Chains A and B, each alone.
Chain A
Amino acid sequence: MARVTVPLADPYLLPMAALLTAIGVTEIYRLGPAGNAFRQGLWIVIGVGVFAATLFSLHSDYRALERYKYVFGVTALVLLFLPRLPVIGEPINGARLWIHVGSLQFQPGELGKIALIVFLAAYLRERREVLAQGRLKDWGPLLVIWGAAMLLLFVTNDLGSALLYYGIFLAMLYVATARISFVAAALGLFLVGSFAVAQGTPHVRERVTNWLSPWSTHPVFCPQNGQMMLRQNCQSYQEVQSLYSLGHGGFGGTGLGHGIFTGTTGKQVIPDLNTDFIYSALAQELGLIGVSALLLLYMAFVLRGFRIALAATDGFSKLLAAGLSFGFAFQTFVIVGGITRVIPLTGITLPFVSYGGSSVVANFLLVAGLMLISHRANRQEAGA
């Protein structure tokens, strides 16, 4: 499909995406139960289908999307709002991120991310000169849609996505306006804002406490069961056990299939192992060597993405490629940084590797976007 529709696209992206997907499916299969790997396989088929359909329908000129920027902006909001709807929305782990139709579960926020990047690319391309002047009138629609997205994320307790969106927004704003002062101001705003939010929302405050001191020497109040417990046995249990998983893997890892993830009672040691914490599983089984290779693969992917942005000839393409590439890198940073205690832990999927249909589909869309942009840039270069 790619050969036919975008023959001049970057030849490395798809193999890298396939490799990451394969690593993911392998680990998901290993962690079991078998149904999970099968479902993930099914989603990969759907993802590839969406990928093909996207290439097919947009290969003549994806820049038509630019005209529908508000459609994308509103779509992003609707997607984020869906899990709040009473019948199809469902809270999992205290966060409302999922919708389910029949037996299908879906996390619309992942697709919302792509939609928001398209919106930002289009809007920033159009208004970048006037935005740089800093008049409120030009900032209006941008702040409304983006601000609403952030608000929804906080309301749904999806802190990981909120952080991700903020990062993507900052990066794209900087690329568009070249105003480092905007970035500095936004960062300052973020710090003030998150401080205020941390005061008001126990959910956020808890994450920060868990990050700074995951181990407590004295029992603290455990909201899950209302008793006094050591923090590592309650709030920070998941991240602490995940660190133990990393430590157990050590330099060389235990080897695939030899990691320890279930206790003698049959209970999983780390909850959400195949989604948010798949990195911990990989780190234990593949060791530092294995996950370093994995991270290098992510770096190579991001590098190709930015190359495409540099080679693109128009502003929309540049911004879109930059947004997709940075989003990809930053999402990896948010989850792996959270697991390795670089930043507070907020749950989000590891691109291509984590278990989850919406994540797979969204990431294939991301690859499709980058390939469309690189095809167009290379065609122009060849044609020129």
Chain B
Amino acid sequence: MNKQLLHVSVAALVLLAALIVSTTYWQTWAVGDLADRQDNSIQLITRLTVDRGKILAGGRVLAANVKHRKHGLTIFTRRYPSGSLAPQVIGYATEAGTSTGLEQSLDDYLTGANTNLTNTFKEELHRLGNQTVHGDNVILTLRPAVQALALQQLAGRCGAVVALDAKTGAVLAMASSPTYDANLIEQPKGYAKVLKIKGSCGDSSALVNNATAGLYPPGSTFKMVTAAAALDSGAYTPSSIFNDPGYCIEYGQHVSNAGNPDQNGPEAFGNVTLAQGFEHSINSVFCNVGKHIGGEKILEYAKRFGFYSLPPLDLPPSASQASGLYKNGKLWTPKNNFAIDSGRLAFGQFNMLATPLQMALVAATIADKGMQPKPYLVQKIVAADGSTVAKTSPQMLGRVIKPQTAAELNQMMQLVVQGGTAATVGFPPNLDVAGKTGTAELGLGSVYDAWFVCFAPANNPRFVVAVVVEKQPNGFGASVSAPIAKAILEKLLGT
């Protein structure tokens, strides 16, 4: 019997040894996969025991924690002291583990999972000693006063304001309206309340960041892109002459200029230069430019400006939309020129949709002499002990257009403010603003999306502002959005 006994004992030991192997698998190889699972309750509870880092901007606390003791556990839940200031940017982190916005994309820093070398060691010791782990604090580039002013100016209308530091790409304001109080999310029935906020346009969502995910027909602001393509490709100069009969002919049909509030029917300018066409936002001029250089060329330049890709921002990808041509709700790349209504695309209609951030980046590129700055929201990440974990150094994404093209566009944008479509806004001359209006037709009669995109001072640009206000009855870029941009610029330039 001893032989069999040996066999059985070996079998028994092999079975037990297999348990060491299987346990090793789950406790070493599989650890990461298990921790990433959505339904991991232990991970969820562990997250709550971390003293999540604060989110600060301009000395104001935008996200902080409340400490609770529950069933022997010390847990932290989120509180948003300026709840409705920038909830679409900050996002929220709930007790149930869902998060949005920066709360989602910066989670590793905020929970102290991703920190510098000395801190990793320190936090690991805390973890072992069962002491509270402190996440890193995040300092944003936002200026709360400018942000608040932007929201106040939007006044519940649907739309967005983006303000960038022209030199660095730092996002100084990113206001989306309608807004909501982030503290509502965790309250009973609070989420349902937030969903009901629709803004004065009636169909907006407070949860969506209109600045990065709001897709609007850019209207005449897109002429910045078309003009860039026309000048940069060498096809035109600012003094190229056009004849404007008040319309342009496409596919055998008249495409009329925008109506002039002072006269009946579309304006007709007669012989004008390209620069004048830009200054007065003459559709027929750009229609002819588009027909000549072709839709593909315009799209090629649009892509150089960042259309057709998500903006490289610190937000989670789901919080942004790519600008470009859309068909049936999806980003659409036409096969060739024949698929594009080049004339209409040239003045920002057709199927073109753009986000306010994208249009701000177009203006920033012109302001920066053809180089596009990389936009960023996070200034600095600081560990609980005050040491710096990460600091954003401004970056250029690359050259989009020639310096000369940028200089010419800059000039043309100054004309818009001095004597063109934005002349009535009353920008103080000392602000030295360069801008472009946009009044996008929505196919809803005289209801428009009103745009204004600008930078100042024109000769040494410091700030870029893009404003869009949605579905304004008889509302033009110059009358609705430019005054908002003016208020923001005045605040930023301290006048």
Contact = CB atoms under 8 A, between A and B. Distances in A.
Tell me if chain B binds chain A: yes
Interface of A: 171, 174-176, 178, 215, 230, 232-233, 240-241, 243-252, 254-255, 257-258, 260, 262-266, 269, 283-284, 287-288, 291-292, 295-296, 298-299, 302-303, 306, 309-310, 315, 318-319, 322, 325-326, 329-330, 332-333, 336-337, 340-342
Contacts of A241: 40-42
A37 to B, nearest CB: 17
Contact of A244 (B40, B71, B128): B40
A329 B10 CA distance: 11
B7 interface: yes
19 contacts: A175-B1, A178-B4, A215-B37, A244-B34, A244-B40, A248-B46, A263-B45, A264-B73, A265-B71, A266-B71, A295-B19, A295-B20, A302-B13, A318-B1, A319-B1, A330-B15, A337-B19, A341-B22, A342-B22
Interface string B33-56: 111010111110110110000000
B440 to A, nearest CB: 41
A318 B2 CA distance: 9
Given A244-B41, A264-B45, A337-B19, A303 B9 contact: yes
B5 A175 contact: yes
A171 B11 contact: yes
A309 B2 CA distance: 8
Interface range, B side: 35 or more
B95 interface: yes
Given A255-B128, A292-B23, A330 B45 contact: no
Nearest to B39: A232
B70 interface: yes
A336 B71 CA distance: 29
Interface stretch (B24-32, B159-167, B355-363): B24-32
B75 interface: yes
Nearest to B130: A258
Interface string B181-207: 000000000000000000000000000
Contacts, number: 166
Contacts of B25: 340
B42 A248 contact: yes
A311 B401 CA distance: 90
A333 B46 contact: no
A298 B16 contact: yes
A337 B17 CA distance: 11
Given A329-B16, A333-B16, A288 B24 contact: yes
Label chain A's interface by main secondary structure: helix
A266 B19 contact: no
A248 B43 contact: yes
Interface of B: 1-9, 11-13, 15-20, 22-28, 30-31, 33-35, 37, 39-43, 45-46, 48-49, 70-73, 75, 95, 128, 130
Given A244-B40, A299-B16, A250 B27 contact: yes
A329 B26 contact: no
Given A174-B4, A247-B27, A292-B23, A306 B71 contact: no
Contacts of B2: 310
Contact of A288 (B27, B43, B70): B27
B435 to A, nearest CB: 50
Given A241-B42, A269-B42, A325-B9, A332 B16 contact: yes
B11 A287 contact: no
B41 A342 contact: no
A247 B5 contact: no
A336 B336 CA distance: 63
Interface-central residue, A260, A284, A298, by most chain B CB under 10 Å: A260
A171 B14 CA distance: 14
A332 B19 contact: yes
A31 to B, nearest CB: 12
A318 B71 contact: no
Q: What are the 8 closest A-B residue pairs judged by CB atoms, nearest first?
A: A247-B34, A306-B9, A340-B22, A329-B12, A288-B27, A266-B71, A333-B15, A246-B26
A178 B11 CA distance: 15
B70 A264 contact: yes
B16 A302 contact: yes
A254 B12 CA distance: 30
A12 B135 CA distance: 49
Contacts of B20: 292, 295-296
A197 B459 CA distance: 84
B329 to A, nearest CB: 25
B12 A266 contact: no
B163 to A, nearest CB: 40
Interface-central residue, A257, A302, A340, by most chain B CB under 10 Å: A340
Contacts of B39: 230, 232-233, 240
Contacts of B35: 247-248
A264 to B, nearest CB: 5
A337 B22 CA distance: 8
A264 B48 contact: yes
Contacts of A246: 23, 26-27, 34
A298 B34 CA distance: 27
A247 B1 contact: no
Nearest to B17: A299
B1 A315 contact: yes
Contact of B18 (A298, A309, A342): A342
A249 B28 CA distance: 9
Interface-central residue, A230, A248, A336, by most chain B CB under 10 Å: A248
A247 B26 contact: yes
Nearest to A246: B26
A340 B26 contact: yes
A337 B19 CA distance: 6
Nearest to B35: A247
Contacts of A247: 26-27, 30-31, 33-35, 40
A258 B131 CA distance: 10
Given A255-B130, A288-B27, A333-B16, A243 B34 contact: yes
Given A255-B128, A269-B41, A288-B23, A329 B15 contact: yes
B24 A175 contact: no
A342 to B, nearest CB: 5
Nearest to A233: B39
A317 B12 CA distance: 19
A249 B73 CA distance: 18
Given A243-B26, A244-B34, A244-B41, A264 B71 contact: yes
A94 to B, nearest CB: 23
Interface-central residue, A244, A252, A265, A315, by most chain B CB under 10 Å: A244
Contact of B46 (A174, A260, A296): A260
